[in-house]
Amino acid sequence: MDLPAKPSSSLLGAPPARKGWRRFAVRLRSSSGAIGGGSLIVGYLSIIVLIPIAAVVAHGFSFSIHTQGWGGAFWHWHLTAGFGTFWTDVTQPAAISAIRLSLWLSLSVAAINAVMGVAIAWVLVRDSFHGKWFVEAFIDLPFALPTIVVGVVLLFLFGTQSPLHIDLFETWMGLMVALLFVTLPFSVRAVQPVLASLDGEAEAAAKSLGAGGLRTFVSVVLPSLWPAVLGGFGLAFARAIGEFGSISLIAGGIGRTTTASSYIYNLTQGFLWTNAAAVSTALLVLSLIILIASNVFARRFQHRLAP
């Protein structure tokens, strides 16, 4: 379907010049997304996200800031010394094992939920059954529940006194169960709307051309879902690697089940702020790499699908 071309903005003529804040307001309104909206977004992101992150990174590298007199007014950073302490902090055996645990747990949790997310979204979109509305609402529960509540529930269910006789206390499996629970909505909700938007004609076409159910799913449905699946993967991973509340109880207090976030928390309890900031920075960089990677892949798929 070809959409009619949008009327070119030049038809509307240039907005009349105005003075002072009114002109600014006009510009904000007329070009939101261009200059006005762009600077607004950058400004907001700076205050909410970038500056705090920069502070942590700076602290992690133990940068000290001197002004060299009022005239110079530029900052001198002790880069070499900072990097040295940073490296020692993040290469502590305990730090390495915590980061490693967080990484592989989060990657596997995001991967498992990517698969389960597609399956659950499929059932929610394509099937109708009794109590579907309840499942729909239940999926979002991890969004709403304070994570420490999840931690308490899991400790009750899978702790040493487990009524199910499944003792996951102080095991990686306990952590994984917690992370699978809190990240599930990301995986399901990322895929669901895309799946719902498929009209089924392409699937019917594949069928009429002789493809079976599995073939149709793998070569017709799944390719349309990839960007969404990868998006959900990225979000689930990010949530998992930062998760603290839901795993803090079932992890117990031993090194084997100390994730990066718990490790950082433990450091802060010992007032080791610089160490904490250094490990945080390492975690931040790793998360960024994985988020960017999943975005790049998603874009690559999206690029071809764009109408």
Partner 1 sequence: MSISLSRLTKRYGPNVVVDDVNVEIPEGSLTAILGPSGSGKSTLLKLIAGLEVPDEGRVIIEGDDVTDVDPRYRDIGFCFQHYAPFRHMNVSKNIGFGLRVRKQPKDVIEVKVRELLELVKLEDKANSYPAQLSGGERQRMALARALAIEPRVLLLDEPFGALDAIVRTELRHFVKELHRQIKVTTILVTHDQDEAMEVADQLLIMHAGKIEQAGEPTELYERPATEFVHSFLGPTTLFKGVAVRPHDLELVSPSVGSIEGVVTSIMELGFEIQVTITLSDGSTPWVQMSRNEFRALGVTTGSPVSVRERVAQ
| Residues at the site binding partner 1, with contacts judged by CB under 8 A | 1-2, 199, 201-202, 204-212, 215, 219-220, 223-224, 301, 304-307
Pick the closer one to partner 1 by CB: 5 or 14.
5
CB of 221 to partner 1, least distance (A): 10
CB of 136 to partner 1, least distance (A): 25
Place of tokens 């998992």: 240
Pick the closer one to partner 1 by CB: 127 or 201.
201
Pick the closer one to partner 1 by CB: 32 or 219.
219
CB of 204 to partner 1, least distance (A): 5
Structure tokens at 292: 């960017």
Pick the closer one to partner 1 by CB: 1 or 164.
1
CB of 200 to partner 1, least distance (A): 9
Place of tokens 């079976």: 212
CB of 62 to partner 1, least distance (A): 49
Pick the closer one to partner 1 by CB: 78 or 207.
207
Q: What length is written for the chain?
A: 307
Helix then strand count (H, E) for the chain reads 16, 2
CB of 219 to partner 1, least distance (A): 8
Structure tokens at 44: 């907001």
Give the C-alpha separation, 9 to 228, whole Å. 33
Give the C-alpha separation, 289 to 307, whole Å. 29
With a CB cutoff of 8 Å and minimum separation 6, the contacts of 153 are: none
The 3-state DSSP composition of the chain as helix, strand, coil percent (nearest 5) reads: 75, 0, 25
Give the C-alpha separation, 263 to 253, whole Å. 10
Give the C-alpha separation, 279 to 125, whole Å. 42
Q: What's the burial of 70, exposed, middle or buried (CB within 10 Å: 0-12/13-18/19+)?
A: exposed
CB of 236 to partner 1, least distance (A): 23
Pick the closer one to partner 1 by CB: 19 or 303.
303
CB-based contact 243:178 (threshold 8 Å):
yes
Pick the closer one to partner 1 by CB: 8 or 208.
208
